[in-house]
């Protein structure tokens, strides 16, 4: 299915520099910012989250439509207990409801309980479910277990889309990020996602480029389009634009929509909206 991956950290950085050095003109910049904004998952994943905070987050997503360009974000992402509340508040808005599963952010839970979490929140009405893989298992080299875990969670998702969080900052090497990407795709992921946002480093251009290369090869071999979601530490439009340019260069314009590209950010949306 996959060829040997020969990229190194240095070669990845060289490619990134070449891609981002291609300046966008004014029209391209406007278009890029519009895409970025409509691909944001407006997120709160804090231990202090409560009904009032979720209501405020959903209202923020709805209020964005009251601006002159009438656009809003792709989704709100909340912890599992708040999915029904968010679904009710966002009914008819077109804004999706995403959540996290599989013992987020640690991933340290027996598989049958991860599947129970996932099946429960799918029944609650989540549109997107972001699972986190077992990084300890991955680092032990038990790659088949990761593929099987993703496949089992995908089955438990029902109609919901599955985003697979690799937590690339804990995988440490080009080879390990590539292998985790391969296993997630073979397991049936609808999206690859970099990070939980709970560790540093979170999203990095190098990790995203590895994931994009893997998605591209998978699409060439299967015809299946899988999405990408960089997440964690993306607070500035300039950072988001790097990921936009990487997606555009490696996968093309077909991926530049919120069906195949998401950005996990809680601090980015207002800044991008102000630039539109």
Backbone phi and psi for residue 82, each to the nearest 5 degrees, phi listed first = -105, 5
Active-site residue, selected from the candidate residues 130, 154, 179, 248: 130
Confirm if 240 and 210 have CB atoms less than 8 A apart: no
Confirm if 75 and 95 have CB atoms less than 8 A apart: yes
Identify whether 154 is a catalytic site residue: no
Confirm if 191 and 164 have CB atoms less than 8 A apart: yes
Identify whether 193 is a catalytic site residue: yes
Active-site residue, selected from the candidate residues 114, 154, 179, 193: 193
Structure-token pair, residue 41: 């998952």
| Alpha carbon of residue 111 to chain centroid | 22
DSSP code of residue 82: G
Active-site residue, selected from the candidate residues 87, 154, 179, 229: 229
Backbone phi and psi for residue 128, each to the nearest 5 degrees, phi listed first = -125, 135
DSSP code of residue 75: E
Q: What is the CA radius of gyration of the chain?
A: 18
Identify whether 130 is a catalytic site residue: yes
Q: Tokens 């519009």 — which residue?
A: 34
List the catalytic residues.
Answer: 130, 193, 229
């Amino acid at each position: 299915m996959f060829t040997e991956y020969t990229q190194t950290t240095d070669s990845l950085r060289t490619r990134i520099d070449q891609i981002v050095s291609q300046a966008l003109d004014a029209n391209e910049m406007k278009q890029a910012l519009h895409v970025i904004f409509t691909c944001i998952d407006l997120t709160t994943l804090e231990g202090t989250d409560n009904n009032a905070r979720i209501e405020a987050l959903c209202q923020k997503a709805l209020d964005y439509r009251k601006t002159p360009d009438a656009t809003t974000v792709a989704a709100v992402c909340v912890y599992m207990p708040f999915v029904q509340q968010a679904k009710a508040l966002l009914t008819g808005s077109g804004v999706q409801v995403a959540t996290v599963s599989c013992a987020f952010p640690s991933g340290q839970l027996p598989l049958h309980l991860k599947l129970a979490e996932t099946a429960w929140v799918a029944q609650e009405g989540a549109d997107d479910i972001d699972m986190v893989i077992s990084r300890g298992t991955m680092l032990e080299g038990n790659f088949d277990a990761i593929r099987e875990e993703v496949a089992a969670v995908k089955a438990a998702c029902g109609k919901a889309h599955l985003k697979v969080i690799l937590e690339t900052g804990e995988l440490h090497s080009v080879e390990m990020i590539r292998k985790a990407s391969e296993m997630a795709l073979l397991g049936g992921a609808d999206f690859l996602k970099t990070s939980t946002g709970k560790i540093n480093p979170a999203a990095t251009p190098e990790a995203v480029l590895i994931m994009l290369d893997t998605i591209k090869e998978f699409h060439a071999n299967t015809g299946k389009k899988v999405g990408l979601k960089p997440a964690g530490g993306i607070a500035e439009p300039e950072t988001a634009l790097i990921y936009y340019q990487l997606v555009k260069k490696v996968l093309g314009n077909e991926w530049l929509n919120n069906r195949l590209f998401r950005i996990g950010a809680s601090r980015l949306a207002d800044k991008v909206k102000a630039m539109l």
